[in-house]
Structure 1
Amino acid sequence: MNIKIVCVGKLKEKYFKLGIAEYQKRLQRYCKFQIVEVPDEKAPESLSPAQMTAVKEIEGERILQKIKDKEYVFALAIEGQERTSEKFAQEIQQLMTYGKSDITFVIGGSLGLSPAVLRRADTQISFGRFTLPHQLMRLVLTEQIYRAWTIIKGLPYHK
Structure 2
Amino acid sequence: MNIKLVVVGKLKEKYFKAGIAEYAKRLSRFCKFRIIEVPDEKAPESLSQSQMDNVMEKEGSRILSKISDREYVYALAILGNERTSEDFAKELDKLTTYGNSDITFVIGGSLGLSSDVLKRADTQISFGKFTLPHQLMRLVLTEQVYRAFMINEGSPYHK
Please give the TM-score of this superposition, normalised by the length of structure 1: 0.99
Q: After the TM superposition, which residues 82-101 of structure 1 pair with which residues of structure 2 at under 5 Å, given as runs?
A: 82-101=82-101
Matched residue count: 159
Q: After the TM superposition, which residues 1-80 of structure 1 pair with which residues of structure 2 at under 5 Å, given as runs?
A: 1-80=1-80
CA-to-partner distance for each residue in 1:95-121, whole Å, 9 max, x for gaps? Answer: 001000000000000000000000000
Superposed structure 1 runs of 4+ greater than 2 Å apart: none
- DSSP-derived class of the 1:23 partner: helix
Counterpart Cα distance in 2 of 1:78 and 1:63:
18
Task: Give the Å deviation of 1:38.
Answer: 0.2
CA-to-partner distance for each residue in 1:54-75, whole Å, 9 max, x for gaps? Answer: 0000000000000000000000
Please give the TM-score of this superposition, normalised by the length of structure 2: 0.99
Counterpart of 2:58, as a letter, is I
- Structure 2 unaligned regions, length at least 5: none
CA RMSD of aligned residues (A): 0.4
Q: Percent identity?
A: 76
- DSSP-derived class of the 1:76 partner: strand
Counterpart of 1:124, as a letter, is Q
Counterpart of 1:103, as a letter, is I
Residue 157 of structure 1 is matched in structure 2 by 157
CA-to-partner distance for each residue in 1:82-139, whole Å, 9 max, x for gaps? Answer: 0000000000000001000000000000000000000000000000000111111000
- DSSP-derived class of the 2:148 partner: helix
Counterpart of 1:92, as a letter, is L
